[in-house]
Chain A
Amino acid sequence: MHPAPSVIIFTVFSGLGFGMLVFLGLGLPPVTGWTAFFFYLAAYAMAVGGLMASAFHLGNPQRALKAFTQWRTSWLSREAWVSVAALAVMGIHAFAAVFFGAILAPIGWLGAGLSVFAVYCTSMIYAQLKTVPRWNTWLTPLHLITLSFGGGAALMGHTSLAGLLIVLAAALQVAHWQVGDRALARSGTTLASATGLGNRGRVTAFEPPHTGSNYLLKEMVYTVGRGHAAKLRLIALALGYGIPGVLLLLPIPGVWPSLIAVPSHIIGILAARWLFFAQAEHVVGLYYGKRAA
């Protein structure tokens, strides 16, 4: 799939923002006043900023409000509702904490729950797609939610918890890559099933329908070199998981470990998310002979 910057920024930063809101809602730590103000400012900047970024890849963003109508079937519509609900509920919690020094615990728990659900809805937009076998697994929501918790914990200063969650997320990341690399072959969708001609012999794409490119090829048949992908995976593992995991778990006093770990984590996860899209094989590529059959 085409790794659009708007979607990469959206998924990474809304995950981090909602991850922070989970901890703020649970009162871990129970911040009030100016401390609360800055924590909430960071969380809202990332969650809202991410959601705004997602609007950039719309063809007609002026009609975005219509996306609230189809929550019965559409994960994208559910995400819109749940994100707004989480931000609204946590807004009440933030208002009470910042201006009245009060922690409204039940509101916070509700907001935390909605924040987790918002990340789940985002992940299901991808995990629901049978057409992209690499994403079509329960590992996708599990990994994205763990990452959101890990990043949120790191940003909230829960160093050892963040370290543990990031190590867990690393294991899920490797599992997602391992399972993902075989997912297309396992899905059973091949050029033979795509054309229905498989029982007649070996089917190969002879001539594409058009000499130039088109929307389908640009959007869904993005290809990355094998060597290039392997290097990026190493970079993502080291910056996104290895360095922050070690720094947060080691008993180093002061804020310096976090000041290095958090930016490193974010850069690494941006690289991993680029790969999440760039390496995802859409089955329509089979019709163009672009995927190994």
Chain B
Amino acid sequence: MTQLPTSTEKKLGLVIDLDTCVGCHACVISCKGWNTENYGAPLSDTDAYGADPSGTFLNRIHSYEITQENAPAQLVHFPKSCLHCEDAPCVTVCPTGASYKRVEDGIVLVNESDCIGCGLCAWACPYGAREMDALEGVMKKCTLCVDRIYNNNLPEEDRVPACVRTCPAKARHFGDLGDPESDVSRLVAERGGMDLMPEQGTKPVNKYLPPRPKQDEAQEFDILAPYLEPVADTPSGFLGWLDKALEHIPGSGPRFPDPDARQKSGKL
């Protein structure tokens, strides 16, 4: 049913920490692996080893540069997958009812046996979270690893989405964002978690934690820095003698050539 539930019992989703993501793409691979071997049609690749490889992925990592007037540029790795929106426009446009949002946990899913592959849901999603599988002709999207998180056959620590389980930097967190006391909700509150494209009115469940400011602390970034300063600018003793001796060897110019002096002497 493509009518969105007015409320869901839980709001399961991800909190993605842009401060700690190192852009290793491990979550992309674990996502592709799990979702190719488990729920629904496998995520196909076309021309995988040819000149124009292309494939279906449910999770992709962009990288953005932030440039400022008086501060160093910053690189932010940006994982993007389905945000399991409360007001999911992809669900309401679906003509067949294949797309739906679950009342019990808010996960947005596609029932592949009902999907006609019209692609309208992918058009309706502002985030590019849905991709049509080229071989199956059905829409694929993040399932929040619905076949892991409730799976009693897995050890308890594995009952989280594959991307969360695999992230070596612990940049991805999974939990109930509808419960203000949950770890993920507290993370969002503490770190100022944000919505992507809030003006689109989709009310995403997934939140992003902004990178912490780094420029302000740049001066005292390394506590060892003062001990690693060069101790002497002008060498003395044996090093001083060696320095002068080397300068006298023909062809070796002064260590810090003065462009004006060079012009005056007429030498290059």
Residues of A within 8 A of B (CB): 1, 57-61, 63-64, 66-70, 72-77, 80, 125, 128-132, 187-189, 191, 193-197, 200-210, 212-216, 219-220, 282-284, 287-288
Please, which residue of chain B has its CB at the minimum distance from the CB of A196? B194
Interface residues in B41-72 (C-beta closer than 8 Å to A): 52-57, 60-69, 71
Contacts of B94 in A (CB 8 A): 70, 73-74, 76
CB distance from A157 to the nearest CB of B (A): 36
Minimum C-beta distance from A221 to chain B (A): 9
Chain B interface residue count, Cβ-Cβ cutoff 8 angstroms: 70
| Docked-complex contact A69 and B97, CB < 8 angstroms | yes
Question: Across the two chains, which residue of chain B brings its CB closest to A67?
Answer: B95
Contact status of A131 and B114, CB under 8 A, knowing A70-B97, A194-B197, A212-B52? no
A219 partner, pick from B18, B68, B119, B126, beta carbons under 8 A: B119
In the complex, the answer to whether A76 meets B118 with C-beta atoms within 8 Å is yes
Given contacts A187-B199, A206-B64, contact A131 B92 (CB under 8 A): no
17 A-B pairs with C-beta separation under 8 A: A58-B116, A59-B119, A66-B95, A66-B98, A67-B116, A68-B95, A70-B1, A73-B92, A74-B95, A74-B120, A125-B120, A131-B126, A197-B18, A204-B64, A209-B60, A213-B52, A219-B122
Q: Flag if B132 contacts A203 (CB, 8 Å).
A: no
Tell me the minimal C-beta distance from B168 to chain A in angstroms. Answer: 18
Question: Nearest Cβ in chain A — how far from B10, in angstroms?
Answer: 23
Q: Give the complex CA separation of A75 and B94 in angstroms.
A: 9
Given A202-B68, A203-B66, A59:B61 Cβ within 8 A: no
Q: Which residue of chain B has the shortest Cβ distance to A280 in the bound complex?
A: B123
Q: Which of B104-118 contact A (CB under 8 A)?
A: 114-118
Main secondary structure of the interface of B (DSSP, over half): loop
On whether the beta carbons of A200 and B68 are closer than 8 Å, the reply is: yes
B116 to A66, Cβ gap below 8 A? Answer: yes
Q: Is the CB of A202 within 8 A of B67?
A: yes
Chain B residue at minimal CB-CB distance from A204: B65
B150 at the interface (CB under 8 A from A): no
Chain A hits for B1, CB < 8 A: 70
B73-81, B151-159, B216-224: which lies at the A interface?
B73-81
Question: Which residues of the other chain, B, contact A196 by a CB distance below 8 angstroms?
Answer: 194-196, 208, 210
